Amino acid sequence: MMTNLRNFVRDLSLTQQLMSVVLSFIFLFSLFVMLFLSGNITEFVKQQMFGILHQTQANVIYNYRMNLQGNALYGANDPNIVHVIFFTDDTRAPLTNSTTTLASELMVELEAASKLSTSIPQDYVAQSSPENMYYSSTRINSDAVVVSIIGNSYTNQFKAALFNSVINIMLIVVSVIFILLLTWVGYLIHPLNQIRVYIEKVRRGENPELKVDRHDEIGALATALVRMNEEIKRQEQLKEEMVQNISHDLKTPIATIKSYGESIKDGVYPYETLEKSVDVIIEHANRLEKKVHSLLLLNRMGYLASEDKLEGKVDMREIVEKAIQSLKVVRPEIKLHTDLSYCFYPGSEEPWRVVIENLLENALRYARSEVLLQLSPSECSVYNDGPRITDDRLESIFKPYEKGTDGQFGLGLTIVHRVVSAYGFTIHAQNMDDGVRFVIRPKPETKKKKADEKSDVGNP
């Protein structure tokens, strides 16, 4: 049963679901009001009837005490209200303004009630009447008691009029609520349809526009979709340019290697001697190897991060010293300062060495006069006194396929970001007063985990 209901609701559109909720709410609200009214209108009518009886009865008592006789005794003639005056002297017949004879059973009940009357009105519901008939008795003086009865027809008319008024008011309220909810449903569904159409057009490769002027969750969703589409387009464009750039970079050394190899095979040495020509081939082969190595490392770190196969610890000071030793000859005119502490980081040696070498290569490329590399258990940073990075590039500098300030594509910083993220660290670039600084730190959850395990990153 519940499965069938769940499947039925799941097959409904959002508009149908919302309309079902609205109609169900209106139905339950109406049912509640009807049940509430059925129990309370009767009590309200009862109180109103007794109020009318008390008012007209007070006039009769006043007129009786003023010794008025005949019709003047009962005041304005209201055919719906009957007054009966009983006397303590049983020889005197009761006085009444009724033009018809009251039922004997009713008269007996009224007379019995009169004997219990006091100066304060006593209210009753007639037991001898098949329908609710209200009456009230009040002692006028020691000799007389007045009992006032209101007819069923007047009670029913009053009750029907009151019920109709309440129903009309309820219908108006429900109609207004329904219109407001219907408007709200339309206001909610329309932007969702816009988003659906936008996504369909994006899927078909079109260039759609999405304008949702809202500041709620739907507006935030629309804005996020537009930004995501713009980022996807930007990434696709960068990928195309990156592929073209890589293709060009690979094509040149391959063509050189091929042409040099063919020339050597034919006994011709393109670069003076055989040894120099072979050196050119080796140089271009090394370029190819480096580019392929970078791509493989990028994919490998993604695999390690996804499979959570990161184990062991490495001596970071030793890795940094090796990287400095191999790169300090790149730009010997740049002063390379270090401040290294003895510490161990989680991971393998090769990825961490790639991280340090990439950061150092980047620093040496842009430095004017000096580079500073600092290492501690809680932080590893590389500073260069080169030009500052623009604010827009600070946000995207670690994304793949990004073009550097020199117009070249590279995966160096992307690999750095992939490695440190896989090992539970963060990296960010910050502009200093006279240069740029790249900082690697453990993620907060990594710090907490280490504290829970009571292990120090500086100890093996």
Residue 431 has φ and ψ, to the nearest 5°, of: -80, 130
Residue-level pLDDT at 372: 95
Higher pLDDT, 16 or 115: 115
Kindly state the average pLDDT of the residues 195-214: 86
Residue-level pLDDT at 281: 87
Kindly state the average pLDDT of the residues 158-163: 79
Kindly state the average pLDDT of the residues 185-213: 86
pLDDT tens-digit series, residues 263-317 = 888 888 888 788 888 888 888 888 788 777 766 766 666 555 444 455 678 999 9
Give percent above pLDDT 70 in the chain: 84
Would you say residue 131 has pLDDT above 70? no
Please provide the CATH number assigned to the domain covering 217-302: 1.10.287.130
Mean pLDDT computed over every residue of the chain = 81
Closest CA to 372 of 318, 332, 334: 334
pLDDT tens-digit series, residues 367-423 = 999 999 999 999 999 999 999 988 878 877 887 655 555 545 457 788 888 888 888
Residue-level pLDDT at 339: 94
Residue 347 has φ and ψ, to the nearest 5°, of: 130, -165
Give percent above pLDDT 90 in the chain: 20
Residue-level pLDDT at 402: 59
- Give whichever of 24-33, 180-189, 255-264 has the largest mean pLDDT: 255-264
Would you say residue 458 has pLDDT above 70? no
CATH code 3.30.565.10 for 310-453: yes
Residue 369: CB atoms within 10 A of its CB come to: 11
pLDDT band for position 344 (50/70/90)?
very high
Q: Which residues contact 398 (CB under 8 A, 6 or more apart)?
A: 413, 414, 416, 417, 427, 429
Higher pLDDT, 426 or 295: 426
Global confidence as pTM: 0.44
Q: Domain segments of the chain: what residues? A: 16-157, 217-302, 310-453
Kindly state the average pLDDT of the residues 74-97: 85
Higher pLDDT, 244 or 407: 244
Residue-level pLDDT at 407: 47
Higher pLDDT, 139 or 154: 139
Would you say residue 161 has pLDDT above 60? yes
Residue-level pLDDT at 18: 73
Least confident window among 15-29, 133-147, 268-282: 15-29
365: left (phi over 0), alpha (psi -120 to 50) or beta: alpha
Chain-centre distance of CA 109, in angstroms?
Answer: 69
